[in-house]
Amino acid sequence: MIGLVRVEWRRLTARRLVRVCAIAAIALIFFVVVLTALNSQKIQSDGSFVMRTTSLWLTEAQAETSGNAQDNAVIAVTSLSFLIVAVIGASAIGAEYRAGTVTTVLGWEPRRVRLLAARLIAVALVAASFYLIVHVVFCAAWTIGSVVSGNPDGASGVFWRDLGLVLARGAVLAAVFAVISAAIATLGRNTAAALGVWVGYWILVEGIVLGLKPQWVRWTLFVNIASVLEWNHLMIESPSVTIAVSPGASVVRLTAYVAVFVAVSLAVFHRRDVT
């Protein structure tokens, strides 16, 4: 199994899409960080903006203690990374169906459940690695920029510990996004099908249904992801009800969602005619 996962890892990391996404994300990060540093250097004299190391990630309590604004720059990069790994996960399965090479691979490894399980594990590992690489580059570039053109004060050991935990949780959540995308692509046998499901879910469920049934908010994917990433109790208020979402309960729900998607995709792939 380990050898099969290693082969799938090599296959995914060798794909042009993964490399292009990584290069594009890192190039965008450097552009944004350099632009932010230049703006900080120009206007920090009047106090309107200062590039701070602590702007990478501060909890509300830490922001109140330090007297700084709660400006979590990591969130923007995390949102972009989640979008990219969702595409990578869907393409990891959908592209093979489009190329018509599924039967060829099954001739090499006929045990379907084992093959798909290895692919999903490889997708999770690639997604988590992609997330960590992009965020380590971003945090390093931002820290250098704040030292050169801003204010590095306040970045204590506690700050770096909390930031490291945020990145660790983000890497796991990136794997969740990628695995769900790969599972959906397995069911739809198409990359576009998986991306279409994500868009439809975002518009219909997160957008419309929650406006009608706010009491369902604790079961939605993105709210639970936000609770786990921030590791904080979220209070979702509506005119009729206030819902509390705890990180522990969110972990249980996300685990259940991934387990269901993986189990269904394995069952369907095991029985489906792939010709």
Q: Calculate what percentage of the chain has a pLDDT beyond 90.
A: 17
Query: Looking at residue 169, what is its pLDDT?
Result: 93
Residue matched to tokens 């706010």: 214
* 47 Rama class: left (phi>0) / alpha (psi -120 to 50) / beta: left
User: Is the pLDDT score of 75 beyond 90?
Assistant: no
The rounded distance, in Å, linking the Cα atoms of 4 and 122 is: 9
Supply the mean pLDDT for the chain: 79
Give the mean pLDDT of 174-191.
Answer: 86
User: Is the pLDDT score of 271 beyond 80?
Assistant: no
Burial class from Cβ neighbours inside 10 Å (0-12, 13-18, 19+) for residue 133 reads middle
3-state secondary structure of 234: strand
The rounded distance, in Å, linking the Cα atoms of 202 and 204 is: 6
Give the mean pLDDT of 5-13.
Answer: 76
Task: Parse the chain into domains and list their residue ranges.
Answer: 2-207
Give the mean pLDDT of 229-258.
Answer: 81
Residue matched to tokens 């991934």: 258
Least confident window among 66-70, 91-95, 138-142, 162-166: 66-70
More confident residue, 141 or 271: 141
Predicted model pTM? 0.86
Work out the number of other CB atoms within 10 angstroms of the CB of residue 15: 16
Most confident stretch, 15-19, 95-99, 242-246 = 15-19
List the Cα angle 160/231/130 in 5-degree steps: 65
Can you list the alpha helix ranges (DSSP code H) found in 150-220? 157-188, 191-200, 210-212
Q: In degrees rounded to 5, what are phi and psi of residue 235? A: -110, 110
Query: Looking at residue 265, what is its pLDDT?
Result: 84
User: Is the pLDDT score of 64 beyond 50?
Assistant: no
Most confident stretch, 56-70, 123-137, 240-254 = 123-137
Is the Cα dihedral 103, 107, 109, 114 positive or negative? Answer: positive
User: Is the pLDDT score of 189 beyond 90?
Assistant: no
User: Is the pLDDT score of 44 beyond 80?
Assistant: no
Is the Cα dihedral 61, 67, 70, 74 positive or negative? Answer: negative
Residue matched to tokens 């690695």: 129
Q: Calculate what percentage of the chain has a pLDDT beyond 70.
A: 83
